[in-house]
A and B are shown apart, each in its own frame.
Chain A
Amino acid sequence: SAVISQKPSRDICQRGTSLTIQCQVDSQVTMMFWYRQQPGQSLTLIATANQGSEATYESGFVIDKFPISRPNLTFSTLTVSNMSPEDSSIYLCSVKDGNGPFFGPGTRLTVL
C-alpha cells in the first residue's frame, strides 16, 4: 500500500489566518482525497483532487475556503483559509491505490 506523509502534523493558528497542509505519497496515484474529522466524529469528505483537473468539492465545502492544489501524481496541498475556531479538526489526506483508500497520519489543527 502507498505510504502517505503529511505536514504539519499539528498546528495552532489564530483566527483569520490560513494554513496550508501538504500531502506526499511515495508512489504515483491518480485519486487523492481530503477529509475532515472533527473530534470524536466520523470522517467527512472535503474534496477529490485528481491530477490535471480541478478539485471536486462536496456539499458544504467551497474552493474559496479550502483551495486545493494537485501539481503532480505524488503531491497535493489543502489550504484552510480565513480560519475560525469551527475549523479546528483533523485534516486527512487519502489515496486510492488499487485497494484502500489509504490515509495519511493527519494534521491536527486548532484555531484560537
Chain B
Amino acid sequence: QQQVKQSPQSLIVQKGGISIINCAYENTAFDYFPWYQQFPGKGPALLIAIRPDVSEKKEGRFTISFNKSAKQFSLHIMDSQPGDSATYFCAASMDSNYQLIWGAGTKLIIKP
C-alpha cells in the first residue's frame, strides 16, 4: 500500500514532442505528489509538485495531471528538448511526516 508505481522505465522522444511519465499509488492518505529531475552525478532536483485538491498544475513546459479517483498522476513535458534528457522520479507523501515514497524512475532521452 506504500508503493508508488512508475512507468515507463525508459522513454525516447523526439525533440519537440511530448514526454509523458505515469505514476500510480495505493495509499489514499498521500496528499503531496512531487516530481524530481536528476542528471547524472547530481542530486534530484524538485521539478514540480501537486496536492490532491487540484487536477492539474503547470509550470512552463512541465505539467502534472492528477486523477484522484484513479489514484494516478502523470508528468507531461511539452516541446521536449535534449536538455530535458534525465531520470525523472515521481514520489508521494503524507504531509504530516514528509517521508517520500519513491517511484522507480524513468530514464528520458530526447533525440535531437
Contacts and interface: CB of A to CB of B under 8 A. Distances in A.
A11 to B, nearest CB: 14
Given A45-B99, A45-B100, A103-B44, 7 more contacts: A4-B43, A41-B104, A99-B46, A101-B100, A106-B41, A106-B42, A106-B43
Interface string B25-50: 00000000010100001111110010
A1 B46 contact: yes
B1 to A, nearest CB: 15
A43 B44 contact: yes
Contacts, number: 40
Given A31-B98, A42-B89, A45-B100, A100 B44 contact: no
Interface residues of B, number: 17
A41 B109 CA distance: 17
Interface in A9-44: 31, 33, 41-43
A4 B45 CA distance: 11
21 contacts: A1-B46, A4-B43, A31-B98, A41-B104, A42-B89, A42-B102, A42-B103, A43-B44, A43-B89, A43-B102, A92-B44, A99-B46, A100-B34, A101-B46, A102-B46, A103-B36, A103-B43, A105-B43, A106-B41, A106-B42, A106-B43
